[in-house]
Chain A
Amino acid sequence: MATVARERVAATAPPEKGGRGISWTALIWIAPAVLLIVAFFIYPLIQTLIYSFENADSTKFVGFKNYIFIGTDPDMIEALRNNLLWLVLGTLLTVGLGLIIAVLVDRVKIEAIIKSALFIPMAISFVGASVIWKFVYDYSPQIGLLNAFLGLFHVPQQAWLQNPAIDNFALIVIYTWMWTGFSMVIISAALKGIPDDVIEAAKMDGAGRFTMFWSIMMPMIGPTLGVVATTMIINILKIFDVIYVETGGNYGTDVVAMEFYTRAFTDLDYGKGSALAILLTVVIIPVMIINVRRMRREEQGR
Chain B
Amino acid sequence: MSVTEQPAVSSVRAKALAQPREGGVFLRSFNNSLVTILVVVVAVLWSIPTFGLFISSFRPPQAIASSGWWTGLLPPWQFTIQNYVNVIQSSGMGQAFLSSLIISIPATILPMLLGAFAAYAFAWMRFPFRNALFFGVVAMLVVPNQIALAPILTIFTQLGLTGQYAALWIAHTAFGLPFAVFLLRNFFAALPKDLLESAYIDGASNFRTFWTIIIPLSVPALASLAIFQFMWVWNDLLIALIFVGSNPAHAPMTVVVANLVGSYGEDWQLLTAASFLMMILPLVVFFSMQRYFIRGILAGSVKG
Contact = CB atoms under 8 A, between A and B. Distances in A.
A and B part of one assembly: yes
Contacts of A111: 20
Contacts of B161: none
Nearest to A260: B146
Contacts of A72: none
Contacts of A133: 49
A248 B214 CA distance: 47
Given A25-B206, A37-B137, A106-B27, A281 B124 contact: no
A127 B197 contact: no
Contacts of B49: 132-133, 135-136, 145, 177
Interface residues of B, number: 131
B144 A284 contact: yes
A86 interface: no
A205 interface: no
Contacts of A148: 68, 70
Interface size class, chain A: 35 or more
Given A6-B201, A33-B118, A127 B235 contact: yes
Contacts, number: 378
Interface in B1-58: 1-9, 11-13, 15-16, 18, 20-21, 23-29, 32, 35-36, 38-40, 42-44, 46-50, 52-53, 56
Contacts of A192: 12, 15-16, 18, 21
B235 A295 contact: no
B152 interface: yes
Given A107-B20, A209-B26, A296-B135, A145 B4 contact: no
A133 B261 CA distance: 12
Given A17-B189, A274-B150, A132 B237 contact: no
13 contacts: A3-B201, A19-B200, A23-B125, A29-B125, A116-B290, A130-B261, A131-B271, A132-B53, A182-B297, A234-B302, A280-B144, A288-B142, A291-B138
Interface of B: 1-9, 11-13, 15-16, 18, 20-21, 23-29, 32, 35-36, 38-40, 42-44, 46-50, 52-53, 56, 64-70, 114-115, 117-118, 120-128, 130-131, 133, 135-153, 170-171, 173-175, 177-178, 181, 189, 193, 196-197, 200-201, 203, 206, 231, 234-238, 241-242, 254, 257-258, 261-262, 264, 268, 271-272, 275, 278-279, 282-283, 285-286, 290, 293-294, 297-298, 301-302, 304
